[in-house]
Amino acid sequence: MQRKAMARRQGINGGSQSEPLNVLTLARNLGLILAWYILSTTLGLYNKKLVGKDGLFGKGAFPAPLFMSSAQFLIQALLAKAVFYSRVVERTARNPMSWREYIHTIGPNGVTTGLDVGLSNLSLAYITMSFYTMCKSTVPIFLLLFAFIWRTERPSWALSGVVLIISIGLALLVMGETAFNGTGFVLVMVASCLSGFRFTLTQVFLQGHQEAGALGGPLEMLELLTPVMCVTTLLISVASERLHMVLPTSPYFSSVEHALITLGIISL
């Protein structure tokens, strides 16, 4: 009887101790999600202002959105390496990755992520920020589809209902958009599809999947992905944006001083 009473007391105490942990975990996750939404929206507004019709300081639209994305990826890569070299954050993955493993594992995710962000920035040159935001809200649809393919999620009627509601909302949005632009719509929808794919891959890399273990923490993933993202968007930029022609004639690069200011603006 005494043992049973002690077990009941331990169970009660254990339950009371686990509840604060669950609340803290929920609060932390909600905080991270809120921070992601705020930073993502702020970055989207900033990029829209830069590549929009008026641009910054009345200089007009930035002439090379993909080049801008590649420069931002380069800054992220350097910052991630600086954090690890300064030992502000310690690495969790101890085993170095071979070049073959890096290309095979990180390459597809890096290319996909680079295209996602690059095409998203490029679409802002054609569509409004509100229309862009609503189109990007379809990312959960593609995320669930790829999660089903990767078997990180199981199909259910509840998830099917979520996909259906988002799809109907997108159809109504497109029908009601007065300043509809086909090019911008295709770009942002392709970016949304790639976003769902790369979020699924990132989840697999961070949490592991089946027999494969996790590759490291979020900053380690950023350090691994950003070089591939930078090279991907830079190659597409060189091939499509005619940098040798548009940059020298752009007011953003009309002098050394303006070029340095522009690079500083892009780095933000």
| DSSP result, 205-249 | HHH-BTTB-----HHHHHHHHHHHHHHHHHHHHHHHS-HHHHHHH
% the chain with pLDDT above 90: 17
Two tokens, residue 229: 């993202």
Instruction: Judge whether residue 53 has pLDDT over 70.
Output: yes
Nearest to 76 by CA among 221, 236, 241: 221
Among residues 41, 198, 189, 179, which one has the least CA distance to residue 122?
A: 189
With left for phi above 0 and alpha for psi between -120 and 50, is residue 6 left, alpha or beta? alpha
Is the separation of the CB atoms in 145 and 193 below 8 Å?
no
d(CA 47, CA 24): 34
Q: Which of 52, 78, 203, 64 is nearest to 131 (CA)?
A: 52
CB-based contact 120:229 (threshold 8 Å): no
Between 156 and 100, the more confident residue is: 100
Res 5 pLDDT > 60: no
User: In whole angstroms, what is the distance from residue 141 CA to residue 85 CA?
Assistant: 38
Which pair of structure tokens corresponds to residue 101?
Answer: 């493993």
* Sign for the pseudo-dihedral over CA of 226, 231, 237, 240: negative
Q: Which helix (H) or strand (E) holds 46?
A: helix 2-51
What pLDDT is recorded for position 210?
55
**For residue range 55-114, what is the model confidence (pLDDT) as tens digits?**
777 788 888 889 988 998 999 999 989 988 888 888 776 667 788 888 888 999 999 999
Q: Is the pLDDT of residue 27 over 80?
A: yes
Distance from C-alpha of 51 to C-alpha of 134, rounded to nearest angstrom: 19
Residue 211: predicted pLDDT: 55
So what's the pLDDT on residue 176? 65
The pLDDT of 162-181, averaged and rounded, is 74
Least-confidence region, from 38-52, 91-105, 163-177, 231-245: 163-177
Arithmetic mean of pLDDT, 23-37: 86
Say how far residue 87 (Cα) sits from the centre of its chain: 25
Smallest Cα–Cα separation from 263: which of 15, 19, 74, 21?
74
Over range 42-58, report the average pLDDT. 81
Per-residue pLDDT for 16 more than 60? Answer: no
Give the separation between CA 92 and CA 215, rounded to whole angstroms.
9
What residues have CB less than 8 Å from 110, skipping those under 6 apart? 224, 225, 226, 227, 228, 229, 232
At residue 208, the pLDDT reads 66
Are residues 248 and 237 in contact, defined by beta-carbon separation less than 8 angstroms? no
Check residue 13 and give its pLDDT.
45
- Average pLDDT of the chain? 81
Mean pLDDT calculated for residue range 205-226:
76
What is the per-residue pLDDT across 242-263, written as a single tens digit (0 to 9) for each?
A: 888 888 888 888 888 888 888 8
Exposure letters 120-140 (e unless 16+ CB within 10 A, then b): bbbbbbbbbeebbbbbbebbb
| Other CB atoms within 10 A of residue 195 CB | 25
Question: How many angstroms from the chain centroid is the CA of residue 7?
Answer: 47
As a whole number, mean pLDDT of residues 37-48 equals 84
